[in-house]
Amino acid sequence: MVHRILMMIGIYVMTLGSAHAAGEAFVGLGGDGVSSWGKDLALQEILENELGFVTVRLNTDTTPGERAELAGAFLSRPGTPGDRRLLWLSGPASGSDSPCPKPDAAMITPGAGALILAPGCFADLIRLPAGTLHIALREVTGSRPKRLGPETPTAPDVVVITLPSDTPEAIAAADRIVLQALRAAAGGGVSPAAILRQLRYGFRVDGSDYTPTLDAAPGPAAWSHRYLTPRIENLSATREEFEPSAFSARLRWPRERAVGLFATPENNPEPALRLAGDTSMTVIRHSRDGAMGFARTAEGLFGWVKLDALD
């Protein structure tokens, strides 16, 4: 009996090790991001030797315009159950260094489990099923909530996180956060939800209209570690902290009896929510025109608020 149990454990560990070793990564960095010869080598080292991706394409030999088409083909290619893919694109929304698809580009249906980090212009092309969990305003906890509502049956599971594309400083700041996530993952896994939390709290660049969002199908995939799971032999590596640092700033309150919380800082005739006048909030950063601030409310909501509506 003991021999049989040991055999079963051995098979499980072998299977786990194989699953951890699988994976494909596609990276295309633009703007003033982390892409450079030395950092490219470091990134390849992390993805291959520490996180166990068997195929890593950094696309240093392609133009930004080509990357969108190649990235679409990478995601669309059929896979097998258990496959994992990582797509990380960054760059400006326009210009010669933009990774945005052509206006007539077709929608993309991922063919294997994928974690996609990309500007909104590319993320909008990902076809996700009805019922996908969309996180824009609500707080994200470190662990999966017990109740998420009905799960959307989908194969494969996909998570999409938006990245900024409006200023070089914003692009570079988000790239640093993603690179930190990859380094931290080598110590035991990092979930997409953790990356979203860090992009909300840790991204402090003023002058950007960037709004971090996450879409997950099915919903529990937002808390899955499978996308950035290290090789089995690296699970004992030193774990690097990947939690927002101590968050402190001056609390502010609405001037009137109510204040609007907007989903984005521009083109908003009506707010997504109206909050009571006794709701305190912390403004994390300012928008491009300086009129709005990305804020966290005392109730744990994230969104944009008009700064002249606050004391």
User: Residue 163's beta-bridge partner residues?
Assistant: 119
Q: Locate 96 and state its tokens.
A: 């010669």
Read off the pTM: 0.88
Q: Which of 200, 234, 268 is the last residue of a domain?
A: 234
Tell me if residue 8 falls in helix, strand or coil: helix
Domain count, the chain: 2
Label the pairing between strands 113-119 and 158-163: parallel
Residue 108 and residue 191 in one domain: yes
With respect to residue 106, please indicate whether it lies within any of the assigned structural domains: yes
Contact yes or no for 93/32 (Cβ under 8 A):
no
Phi, psi of 15 (to 5 degrees): -65, -45
With respect to residue 243, please indicate whether it lies within any of the assigned structural domains: no
Residue 178 and residue 216 in one domain: yes
- The residue assigned the tokens 């990235």 is 71
Domain that holds residue 282: 251-309
Q: Which of 174, 206, 234 is the last residue of a domain?
A: 234
Residue 114 and residue 71 in one domain: yes
- The residue assigned the tokens 């990356």 is 195
Residue 141 and residue 268 in one domain: no
Tell me if residue 216 falls in helix, strand or coil: strand
Residue 16 and residue 138 in one domain: yes
How much of the chain is in helix, strand and coil states, percent to nearest 5?
A: 30, 20, 50
With respect to residue 240, please indicate whether it lies within any of the assigned structural domains: no
With respect to residue 241, please indicate whether it lies within any of the assigned structural domains: no
Q: Which of 238, 230, 214 is nearest to 182 (CA)?
A: 230
Contact yes or no for 260/274 (Cβ under 8 A):
yes
Per-residue pLDDT of the chain (311 residues; tens, 9 = 90+): 434 433 333 333 333 333 444 799 999 987 555 556 667 888 999 999 989 999 999 998 888 889 999 999 999 999 988 899 999 999 999 888 898 998 889 999 999 999 999 999 999 999 998 889 999 999 988 788 877 766 666 668 999 999 999 999 999 999 999 999 999 998 877 999 999 999 999 999 999 999 999 999 999 999 999 999 887 666 655 667 787 766 666 788 888 888 999 999 987 778 999 998 888 999 999 999 999 999 999 889 999 999 999 98
Number of residues that this document lists for the chain? 311
Q: Which of 171, 209, 213, 179 is nearest to 285 (CA)?
A: 209
With respect to residue 245, please indicate whether it lies within any of the assigned structural domains: no
With respect to residue 32, please indicate whether it lies within any of the assigned structural domains: yes
Tell me if residue 305 falls in helix, strand or coil: strand
With respect to residue 246, please indicate whether it lies within any of the assigned structural domains: no
